[in-house]
Amino acid sequence: MTSVANEIHIRARERAPFSVMIILKSRWFLYAVSLTAFFLIWDYVAVSRILGSAMARPYEVAVQLNTMMTDPLAGKSLFGHIWASTQRILIGFAIGAALATPLGLLMALNRHISAVVKPLFDLIKPMPPIAWISIAILWFGIGEPSKVFIIVIGTFVPCLLNSYNGVRLIDPQLYDVVRMLGGNRGDEILHVCFPAAFPAIFAGLQISLSSAWSCVLAAELVSARSGLGFITLLGMTLSRPALILGGMVVIAVVAWVTTLLVTGLEKILCPWKRGVIDI
């Protein structure tokens, strides 16, 4: 699909082939400038102590990251902490998705089930999952179950919404196709509902995943002894900004990798979806 992005491309090529302005305005050059500026400003802020002693220089953070990979923190290596957080996400995500997706499908297929479940869901929906942390701790204590519970809540809402809408918005004539070919209601569900709703369900899973990340971090900040959120909290309590920033860097990298994996998975599972705009 042509877009403004292409427009800009075409304009650039029509100009004179070589000049200083071209280089200055080329996208990659600007990226490079911007990245360098980012690190320079960071370094400056840290050195000149604008924010008090609350900033660590990029170099210090790099050193800290290196140390984290070899020395244990609060009893676990860096990968141990990454795994602790990831484990919570995986379990909570699996439970939440396994409960919400079929429920959403059922609600969309059966008006009576929808009439029973939807009002309750609409009551729960406006409350952010993080608001449940306190009551989860009251119920489950400060161990793993309370954290997994929050992630389940955080996963449940987007998954249900997406699978419900995914089925609801299927073109009804697709069902007609199956009926005309001699299929029954079961065939309709198997051959139309599931595949047609799949992209929406998958989108719901993606949203749930990023929601799960926020939830696990919040839960870890409140009460945890392991995990990436815990690391950043530790940095705060020990007044070690390098540790805080190091933890944030690790969080960013892990989140980025997970997103990449999931997007890649989508390309494999849904080859029929056309890409829209890439950002």
- Considering only residues 219 to 258 of the shown chain, the ones binding another protein according to CB under 8 A are 221-222, 228-229, 232-233, 235-236, 239, 241, 244-245, 247-248, 251-253, 255-256
Question: Would you give the binding string for another protein spanning residues 71-110, x where CB under 8 A is met?
Answer: ----------------------------------------
Which residues 132-191 are close enough to bind another protein by CB under 8 A? 132-135, 137-139, 171, 173-174, 176-183, 187, 191
Asked if residue 261 binds another protein (CB under 8 A), the reply is no
Q: Give the residue with the Cβ less far from another protein, 148 or 213.
A: 213
Q: Give the residue with the Cβ less far from another protein, 37 or 69.
A: 37
Asked if residue 198 binds another protein (CB under 8 A), the reply is yes
Asked if residue 54 binds another protein (CB under 8 A), the reply is yes
State the nearest-atom distance from the C-beta of 35 to another protein, in Å.
5
Asked if residue 265 binds another protein (CB under 8 A), the reply is no
State the nearest-atom distance from the C-beta of 239 to another protein, in Å.
8
Question: Would you give the binding string for another protein spanning residues 19-38, x where CB under 8 A is met?
Answer: ------xxxxxxx-xxx-xx
Three state DSSP letters for the chain = CCCHHHHHHHHHHHCCCCCHHHHHHCHHHHHHHHHHHHHHHHHHHHHHCCCCCCCCCHHHHHHHHHHHHHCCECCECHHHHHHHHHHHHHHHHHHHHHHHHHHHHHHHHCHHHHHHHHHHHHHHCCCCHHHHHHHHHHHHCCCHHHHHHHHHHHHHHHHHHHHHHHHHCCCHHHHHHHHHCCCCHHHHHHHHHHHHHHHHHHHHHHHHHHHHHHHHHHHHHHCCCCCHHHHHHHHHHCCCHHHHHHHHHHHHHHHHHHHHHHHHHHHHHCCCCCCCCCC
Asked if residue 131 binds another protein (CB under 8 A), the reply is yes
State the nearest-atom distance from the C-beta of 151 to another protein, in Å.
13
